[in-house]
Amino acid sequence: MTYQEALSYIHSVCWKGSVPGLSRTRELLERIGNPQNQLKFIHIAGTNGKGSTAAMLASVFRAAGYCTGLYTSPFILCFNERMQVNGEMISDEELAEITEFVRPHAEAMQDHPTEFELVTVIAMEYFKRHKCDIVSLEVGLGGELDSTNVISTPEASVICNIGLDHTEILGDTLEKIASAKAGIIKGGDAVIYRGRESVEQVFADACEKTGARLHKADFDGIRLHKADFTGQVFDLGARKNLEIPLLGEHQLKNAAVVVATVDALTAKGWKVTEQQLRDGLKHVSWPGRFELLRKKPVFFVDGGHNPQCMAALAKNLEQYLSGRRLVGLTGVMADKDYFDMYKTMEPYFSAFVTVTPENPRALPAEKLAEMLAQFGKPVTACASVREGVQKAMELAAGENDAVVAFGSLYMVGDIRTAAMEK
């Protein structure tokens, strides 16, 4: 099997897109020898910030000398990004080899796994073959019934910020969504992002039920010293001058969650020195999250795709781009609450360029342009992301202008490629 054959097989129409339940993943894992039972995990759920948190944790444990796996979704530039060991993506050859190994076992199942279930199993086998000491494991959707929740008690269960997203699946209140996410708590240590009291209570109840030790990230201890296009320097309680290359107040809070998780794990025997913690935070790489792509014109891309992400993006625009004339390059999934998203963002922009992200769920650029036109700003619909990038940069020709691309992770890779080659 070649790499392209492996991708074609993984994306094959024979796999249903999303079907709740863990039975298929468990069966497929059992058929290949339960590789997950030979691994230790930090399991990460939440509405926003899971990927950044997972990447920071992986960076810290890699800096501490551990063989570290990282499992995330979706990808930005290429599929291989979804599974990494020590910062290196799975090779084309190994992805093909493991997919070929898993394939006959998947096809022998009466109830075929979904694409995400198949990919999760491939990742588990990959991490086992590399003898990872610890895996930073991001859930796909929800928590309790997410395919990744087939693992036994993780070293730590981490719950990031909770917001209203995927409400048709997870529930229409923050508390219901929190309850779904809390399904990853199965004892051990649980670290949560501070939020609404009723939401925190959901996690406290889950900890009491499973015997998990509850840790709450210390946001009160955050003191920002410096924030520019290169990153942020901040204090966190007694820790002074921590550095992260990721921008935005929300990333400081994500970093606080990471520090709380590392502290919980060092207390139970994992060896991470203070300097290794600092090095891991300082050198983390996580593209597509309010990422500066170029300085002429100033061009940022952000994969935020729900109202909570828009609120965070708005804060970033006020902090980093205040006083500039902004051109918005945007696309969105049709099943998102996009009117509220753009109602939040519209005041910050002088003009919009719309594109259609490469995804079957995408809202056509023309329909998005029609909706945005009601705000009274100039709007141009483009036939491709590349054309959209070109148009946005033409509109941001002034010395004090900037382009901000946002709305969907599914277009970030194409935007990065087009913007960085100009």
pTM: 0.89
Identical fold, 3-282 and 291-421: no
Residue 167 has pLDDT above 60, yes or no: no
Residue 164 has pLDDT above 70, yes or no: no
Task: Determine whether domain 3-282 maps to CATH 3.40.30.10.
Answer: no
Tokens of 121: 């199993």
Mean pLDDT check: name the lowest of 114-118, 120-124, 163-167, 193-197.
163-167
Burial class, 330, CB count within 10 angstroms (exposed 0-12 / middle 13-18 / buried 19+): buried
Q: How far apart are the first and last CA of the chain?
A: 36
**Span 64-82, pLDDT tens digits:** 999 999 999 888 889 999 9
Q: What are the strands of the beta sheet with 156-159, ordered from one edge?
A: 88-89, 83-85, 68-71, 134-138, 41-45, 156-159, 189-192, 213-216
Taking each helix axis from N to C end, the angle separating 23-31 and 115-129, rounded to the nearest 10 degrees, works out to 40
Strands 134-138 and 41-45: parallel
CA distances from 194 to 160, 250, 252, 260, 285 (A): 8, 12, 13, 12, 24
Mean pLDDT check: name the lowest of 32-41, 65-74, 264-273, 300-309.
300-309
Q: What residue segments make up the domains of the chain, in order of their start? A: 3-282, 291-421
**Span 353-382, pLDDT tens digits:** 999 998 888 999 999 999 999 999 999 999
Interacting residues of 152 by C-beta distance below 8 A, sequence separation 6+: 36, 37, 186
Mean pLDDT within 86-113: 96
What homologous superfamily is domain 291-421 in, according to CATH?
Answer: Mur ligase, C-terminal domain (3.90.190.20)
Residue 16 has pLDDT above 70, yes or no: no
Instruction: Please name the amino acid found at residue 83.
Output: M
Instruction: Please name the amino acid found at residue 165.
Output: D
Exposure b/e, 260-295, CB count within 10 A at least 16 = b:
bbbebbeeeebebeeebbbbbbeebebebbbbebee
Residue 165 has pLDDT above 60, yes or no: no
